[in-house]
Amino acid sequence: MGYSKLSVTIPDQTYRQIKELAAGKHIKLSHLVAEALSEKVLKLREEILLERINAAFADPKIKREQMLMAETIAENTNVEEMPW
């Protein structure tokens, strides 16, 4: 995996906090920032996916199809046989 440099401007208080955290955890500041950004990107991607799923289920036709499928599965499943 390659690396790229990025120059960002952040509030002084935030800088002091992340610098202190990195020192306390004995990790490089750049590693802490890269990890935090990666987590934020993952969270944003998950939010986008959830928005797309919710948009699809907002469609009455898709919603009805899913309800019918769920009802069919429920009617044809013996709950006593389920592993939980």
User: How far from 33 is each of 23, 47, 56, CA to CA, in Å?
Assistant: 13, 21, 35
Band of pLDDT at residue 82, cut at 50, 70 and 90: low
Query: Rounded distance, CA 55 to CA 27, Å?
Result: 41
For residue range 50-65, list pLDDT tens digits in order. 999 888 888 888 888 9
pTM (two decimals):
0.65
Confidence (pLDDT) at 56? 84
pLDDT(46) > 80:
yes
